[in-house]
C-alpha cells in the first residue's frame, strides 16, 4: 500500500492522540497483546517508536541511511546486533519474535525503511490502542479492508516493547472498534 504524505500526517496524529470515533473506517484489523508491564508503561514504549518512524517518513529521503537520533534508545539497541545495553524486556521480546516467526531480528534501518512513503510493503496504518480491565491491549490498524497484509515490522515492535504474546491480525467492523473503545479502561 502506498502511504500518501497526508495519510502519514493523519497517522502520526493518531499516534499522538486518539482518533474521533466518527472517523473510523468501515473495517479495521486488530492485534490482541498481553503486555508484561502495566498498559500505561507499555503504551509509553510503543508510541514514541511509531512517532519517530512516522516523523522520518515525513521528513527524510529514503535513498540513504536514515538518522536514528529520534528513535528511542532501547528500540535502537534491540534492533540489530544484540548488546548488553538492550533492556531485558526488549531482549525477551526479541527472543519471542525470533521463536514465533522463525526469522532473525529486524535491523534498525531495515525496520525504519518500512515507513518509506513510496514503499508498498507496509500494509497497515496505526489507528488506535484500547485496553481491557484485565490489562490486555488491543492494537487497531487500518488495512484498507484487507485481511492479509504485511505486518511483521509491527509484530516486531509489539513484542520488543514488552509483550508476552500477540495474536492477530483479525478483521473487525467499525462497530467492534467503537464498542471496544467505549469499554476501554484507559
pTM here is 0.94
The counts of H helices and E strands in the chain are: 7, 4
- The pLDDT tens digits of the residues spanning 125-184 come to 999 999 987 889 999 999 988 888 999 999 999 999 999 999 999 999 999 999 888 877
CA 39 to chain centre: 15
pLDDT tier, 83 (very low <50, low <70, confident <90, very high otherwise): confident
Map grid coordinates 515507513 to a residue.
115
Amino acid at each position: 500500500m502506498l502511504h500518501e504524505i497526508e495519510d502519514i500526517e493523519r497517522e502520526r496524529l493518531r499516534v499522538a492522540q486518539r482518533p474521533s470515533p466518527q472517523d473510523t473506517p468501515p473495517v479495521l484489523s486488530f492485534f490482541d497483546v498481553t503486555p508484561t508491564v502495566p498498559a500505561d508503561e507499555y503504551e509509553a514504549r510503543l508510541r514514541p517508536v511509531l512517532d519517530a518512524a512516522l516523523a522520518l517518513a515525513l521528513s527524510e529521503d529514503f535513498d540513504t541511511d536514515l538518522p536514528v537520533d529520534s528513535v528511542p534508545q532501547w528500540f535502537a539497541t534491540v534492533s540489530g546486533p544484540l548488546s548488553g545495553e538492550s533492556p531485558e524486556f526488549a531482549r525477551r521480546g526479541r527472543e519471542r519474535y525470533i521463536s514465533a516467526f522463525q526469522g532473525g531480528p529486524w535491523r534498525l534501518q531495515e525496520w525504519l525503511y518500512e515507513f518509506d512513503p513510496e514503499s508498498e510493503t507496509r500494509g497497515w496504518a496505526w489507528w488506535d490502542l484500547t485496553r481491557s480491565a484485565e490489562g490486555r491491549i488491543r492494537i487497531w490498524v487500518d488495512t484498507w479492508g484487507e485481511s492479509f497484509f504485511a505486518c511483521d515490522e509491527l509484530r516486531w515492535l509489539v513484542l520488543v516493547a514488552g509483550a508476552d504474546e500477540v495474536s492477530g491480525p483479525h478483521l473487525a467492523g467499525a462497530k467492534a472498534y467503537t464498542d471496544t473503545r467505549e469499554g476501554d479502561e484507559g
